[in-house]
């Protein structure tokens, strides 16, 4: 339907109808006014499958796909696309017009209860995966709701807390994944989160819902509140939150009154109605009446995605398992696998295949429970059986994970530990069976003080309904693992940069680590982690070579290409992940910034001996920081490194790149006698005069004997970093003083005037 027709229909609504149209008909639908042709649209939960709740007792069964934390580990946006498309097709078959997902919130702390619903601690990876998912759902003609916008990084007091985040951190860490999905995939809706951002509820936050989202990023869709997140209906409309969910008819009158008494411009109300109607019309028009979905196909897609998402964390050679060996599969979690987390994202699967089911025809495999997932005490009979099986086998494979209830919407985890019962079993099995493999089912990182005991460790995250078959194929080598961690695994919870301020004081949560989230902190701090971001092993080996840049220097506005070769030098076919980081020296006083940041990645399949070249294109945003003074992205000049990493820590290739300084506000501000010299030096036009003055100063200082003897001074110049030392930290008037009248006062005045008048 055209914009004109939408407007025409909205103009036919009464004021009361308009007010009512900005909230749901019920928990899952928009309103309908049949007399003017307005039909209801149905929306249901995702993101890792369809959770269509018919009523309190009935939820439609659907394919449970791997959760976002798993899909992200594939580092393959095409798989996110496939998942999105399949979910879209399921929505078509179930007459759902919009799926409530994906979630691209940044994982600030490993404890956030909803981490399993989110992709990564890195905005670039989260943005790419989210974009893939949204494009996939769209391909099926279904709408999405990108959530939870914004800074919804914890469940504790999620409905009242205020995420206190500085502007630069917002722009560089918490906004970019949303920005990327908005710009690259134009999602139909964004879901305004429960929390406040810097004191204002997201739903009433005009800065984020309108100024940034629509005016800066060019967003054309609608904004939907999270369920029950609107506290002020009029404020929401003014901010740009178009639809308040669920049904809040009891407050419609506030809107009607506000229009009548002139405190709400009816045009803003009209705009919200138009946005909701455009959404409903678009998605209803794309509905395919009579569509069906083949759930066997859904299951196969779920399995395929999980195969690429399993991360091999350790392997002393015991994996893949050999068919002629006796294998003991142990663990309650091998029978009842954790395929997803709890809360609104808990999909009722059509058919889960556990690893025990998947291996039931293998004669060389025994299975037993070993422990009870929810128990706090060891069950001696189960333990005894496990030890017997382990001892009699050639290899023991133990499935572990946190209590099922621990990872869910509504609360945060309280630690990163495995239950004591499971740790006890790891130790006991190791004592009777040296060949021990641990398989982890998790939504977030775990501490692993026991890491030295097993010979191999696989992390399968919450892998959806095909997880059992996928892990069976990885264990026995039918599938070569190629997942990589989309988040850092700290050694201890206390090492995480948000540790001191998570979950805040009362309702105030200061994001005091700033831009140093996840690996940005660990790498800059040179802090040891258990496994770095991007880490993942394979049953084969890859060699990276020939990193080439299309230019030796870069300036804002350019594009630069980086190419690198990757070769499979092992004996098995496998998928290599090429990760590109932009590395900078930390010593940059324009922006305190992480030593490296992910700016490109690509996964390539390689046969043994095969080599492929991968090319990345870098642009201004690959190098820029958000300059709060300029309210814009700015590139700081200096010597950068383009790095190819096996992960965020192990950089295997590096190429230098000189980046030309963009006009940074420090240098743009009015120059006075109180301006610091290092800022003046950023202005190319200042160089001849300043260099002359510094040379004169050098002679004066030498005569005065201020800087010690000549030899010491020369040696110091060699060893000291060139920037921000000596005279560079002084202000202009110090230089005037130290040139002892050799430059006339009028000349200085003229110099300052010239700098301030330049274009
Ligand atoms: C959750 C949303 C979800 C909605 C509807 C809320 O509590 O935060 O993610 O989509 O409920 O179930």
Same domain, 281 and 167: yes
Atom of ligand 1 nearest to the CA of 46: 10
Q: What tokens appear for 318 in the block?
A: 């015991």
Same domain, 254 and 148: yes
**Whole-number average pLDDT of the chain:** 95
Same domain, 241 and 383: no
Q: Within a domain: residue 114? A: no
- For the chain, give the percent of residues with pLDDT over 70: 96
Residue 345 belongs to domain with CATH number: 3.40.50.1700
- Measure 344 CA to ligand 1 centroid, in angstroms: 6
- Among 29, 51, 227, residue to substitute to test ligand 1 (most atoms within 8 Å of Cβ): 227
User: Which 3 state secondary structure label does DSSP give 474?
Assistant: helix
Using CA positions, which residue lies closest to atom 2 of ligand 1? 226
- Measure 228 CA to ligand 1 centroid, in angstroms: 9
Using CA positions, which residue lies closest to atom 3 of ligand 1? 344
- For the chain, give the percent of residues with pLDDT over 90: 88
Number of domains the chain is built from: 4
**Residue in 203, 185, 173 with CA at minimum distance from that of residue 107:** 173
Q: Within a domain: residue 110? A: no
Same domain, 310 and 424: yes
Using CA positions, which residue lies closest to atom 9 of ligand 1? 344
- Among 191, 344, 347, residue to substitute to test ligand 1 (most atoms within 8 Å of Cβ): 344
Alpha carbons 621 and 557: distance in angstroms, whole number: 10
Q: Within a domain: residue 134? A: no
Same domain, 438 and 582: no
Same domain, 392 and 463: yes
In order, the DSSP letters of 718-755 are HHS-SSS-GGGGSBHHHHHHHTTTSS-HHHHHHHHHHH
- Residue at which a domain ends, from 469, 496, 525: 525
- Residue at which a domain ends, from 643, 663, 683: 663
- Measure 45 CA to ligand 1 centroid, in angstroms: 7
Q: Within a domain: residue 55? A: no
Residues lining ligand 1, CB < 6 A?
45, 100, 147, 226-227, 344
Residue 155 belongs to domain with CATH number: 3.20.20.300
Atom of ligand 1 nearest to the CA of 53: 12
Same domain, 654 and 673: no
Q: Which residue has the tokens 């630690």?
A: 415
Q: Within a domain: residue 74? A: no
Range of the domain at 693: 669-756
Interval 274-298 mean pLDDT = 98
Same domain, 638 and 675: no
Same domain, 379 and 418: yes
Same domain, 192 and 318: no
- Measure 226 CA to ligand 1 centroid, in angstroms: 6
Q: Within a domain: residue 109? A: no
Q: Is 226 a catalytic residue?
A: yes
- Measure 43 CA to ligand 1 centroid, in angstroms: 11
- Residue at which a domain ends, from 600, 629, 663: 663
pLDDT category of residue 665 using cuts at 50, 70 and 90:
low
**Helix-helix angle 123-139:77-93, to 10 degrees:** 40
Q: Catalytic: which of 226, 473, 627, 647?
A: 226
pLDDT in the model for residue 724: 45
720 has a pLDDT exceeding 80: no
pTM of the model: 0.94
Q: What tokens appear for 545 in the block?
A: 């070579």
725 has a pLDDT exceeding 60: no
- Measure 37 CA to ligand 1 centroid, in angstroms: 29
Interval 260-272 mean pLDDT = 98
Atom of ligand 1 nearest to the CA of 103: 9
Q: Quick: pLDDT tens for 41-93.
A: 999 999 999 999 988 889 999 999 999 999 999 999 999 999 999 999 999 99
Partners of 651 in the beta sheet?
645
Atom of ligand 1 nearest to the CA of 100: 10
> Which residues, at least 6 apart from 711, have a Cβ–Cβ distance to it below 8 Å?
none
Same domain, 492 and 553: no
Q: Within a domain: residue 249? A: yes
Same domain, 555 and 682: no
Atom of ligand 1 nearest to the CA of 45: 10
Q: Within a domain: residue 384? A: yes
Using CA positions, which residue lies closest to atom 6 of ligand 1? 227
Residue 653 belongs to domain with CATH number: 2.60.40.10
Using CA positions, which residue lies closest to atom 8 of ligand 1? 226
């Amino acid at each position: 339907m055209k914009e004109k027709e939408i407007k025409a229909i909205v103009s036919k609504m009464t004021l009361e109808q308009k007010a009512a149209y900005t909230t749901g008909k019920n928990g899952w639908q928009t309103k309908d006014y049949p007399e003017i042709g307005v039909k209801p649209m149905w929306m249901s939960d995702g993101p890792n499958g369809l959770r269509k709740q018919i009523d309190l007792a009935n939820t439609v069964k659907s394919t449970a796909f791997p959760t976002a934390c798993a899909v992200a580990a594939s580092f393959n946006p095409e798989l996110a696309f496939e998942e999105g498309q399949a979910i879209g097709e399921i929505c078509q078959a179930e007459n759902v017009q919009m799926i409530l997902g994906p979630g691209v919130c940044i994982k600030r702390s490993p404890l956030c209860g909803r981490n399993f619903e989110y992709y990564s601690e890195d905005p670039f990876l989260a943005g790419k995966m989210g974009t893939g998912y949204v494009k996939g759902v769209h391909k099926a003609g279904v709408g999405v709701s990108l959530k939870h916008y914004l800074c919804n990084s914890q469940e504790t007091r999620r409905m009242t807390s205020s995420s206190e985040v500085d502007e630069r951190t917002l722009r560089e860490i918490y906004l970019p994944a949303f920005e990327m999905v908005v710009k690259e995939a134009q999602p139909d809706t964004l879901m305004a989160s429960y929390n406040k951002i810097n004191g204002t509820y997201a739903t009433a936050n005009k800065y984020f819902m309108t100024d940034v989202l629509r005016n800066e990023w060019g967003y054309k869709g609608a904004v939907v509140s999270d369920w029950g997140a609107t506290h002020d209906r009029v404020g929401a409309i003014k901010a740009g939150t178009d639809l308040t969910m669920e049904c809040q008819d009891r407050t419609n009158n506030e809107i009607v009154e506000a229009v009548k008494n002139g405190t709400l411009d009816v045009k803003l109300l009209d705009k919200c109605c138009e946005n909701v109607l455009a959404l409903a019309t678009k998605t209803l028009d794309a509905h395919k009446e009579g569509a069906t979905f083949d759930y066997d196909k859904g299951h196969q897609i779920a399995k395929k995605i999980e195969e690429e998402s399993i991360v091999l964390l350790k392997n002393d050679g015991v994996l893949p398992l050999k068919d002629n060996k006796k294998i003991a599969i142990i663990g309650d979690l091998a029978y009842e696998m954790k395929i997803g987390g709890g809360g609104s994202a808990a999909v009722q699967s059509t058919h889960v295949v556990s690893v025990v089911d998947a291996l039931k025809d293998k004669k060389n495999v025994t299975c037993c429970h070993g422990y009870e997932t929810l128990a706090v005490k060891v069950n001696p009979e189960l333990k005894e059986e496990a030890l017997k099986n382990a001892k009699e086998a050639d290899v023991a494979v133990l499935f572990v994970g946190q209590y099922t209830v621990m990872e869910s919407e509504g609360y945060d985890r309280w630690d990163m530990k495995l239950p004591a019962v499971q740790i006890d079993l790891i130790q006991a099995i190791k004592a009777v069976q040296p060949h021990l493999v641990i398989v982890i089912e998790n939504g977030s990182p775990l501490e692993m003080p026991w890491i030295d005991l097993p010979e191999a460790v696989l992390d399968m995250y919450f892998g959806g309904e095909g997880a059992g078959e996928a892990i069976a194929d990885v264990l026995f080598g039918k599938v070569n693992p190629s997942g990589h961690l989309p988040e850092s695994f700290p050694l201890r919870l206390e090492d995480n940069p948000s540790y001191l301020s998570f979950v805040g004081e009362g309702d105030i949560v200061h994001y005091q680590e700033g831009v140093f989230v996840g690996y940005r902190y660990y790498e800059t701090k040179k802090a040891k982690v258990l496994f770095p971001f991007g880490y993942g092993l394979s049953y084969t080996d890859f060699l990276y070579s020939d990193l080439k840049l299309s230019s030796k220097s870069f300036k804002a506005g350019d594009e630069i290409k980086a190419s690198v070769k990757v070769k499979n030098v092992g004996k098995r076919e496998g998928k290599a992940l090429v990760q590109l980081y932009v590395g900078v020296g930390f010593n940059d006083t324009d922006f305190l910034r992480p030593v490296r940041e992910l700016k490109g990645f690509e996964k390539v399949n390689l046969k043994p001996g095969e080599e492929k070249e991968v090319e990345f294109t870098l642009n201004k945003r690959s190098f820029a920081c958000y300059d709060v003074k300029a309210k814009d992205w700015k590139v700081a000049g200096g010597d950068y490194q383009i790095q190819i990493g096996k992960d965020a820590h192990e950089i295997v290739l590096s190429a230098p790149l000189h980046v030309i300084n963009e006009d940074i506000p420090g240098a743009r501000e009015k120059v006075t006698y109180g301006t610091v010299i290092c800022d003046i030096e950023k202005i190319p036009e200042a160089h001849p005069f300043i260099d002359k003055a510094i040379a004169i100063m050098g002679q004066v200082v030498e005569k005065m004997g201020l800087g010690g003897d000549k030899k010491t001074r020369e040696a110091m110049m060699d060893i000291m970093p060139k920037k921000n030392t000596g005279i560079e930290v002084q202000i202009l008037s110090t230089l005037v003083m130290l040139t002892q009248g050799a430059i006339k006062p009028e000349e200085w005045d003229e110099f300052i005037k010239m700098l301030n008048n330049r274009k």
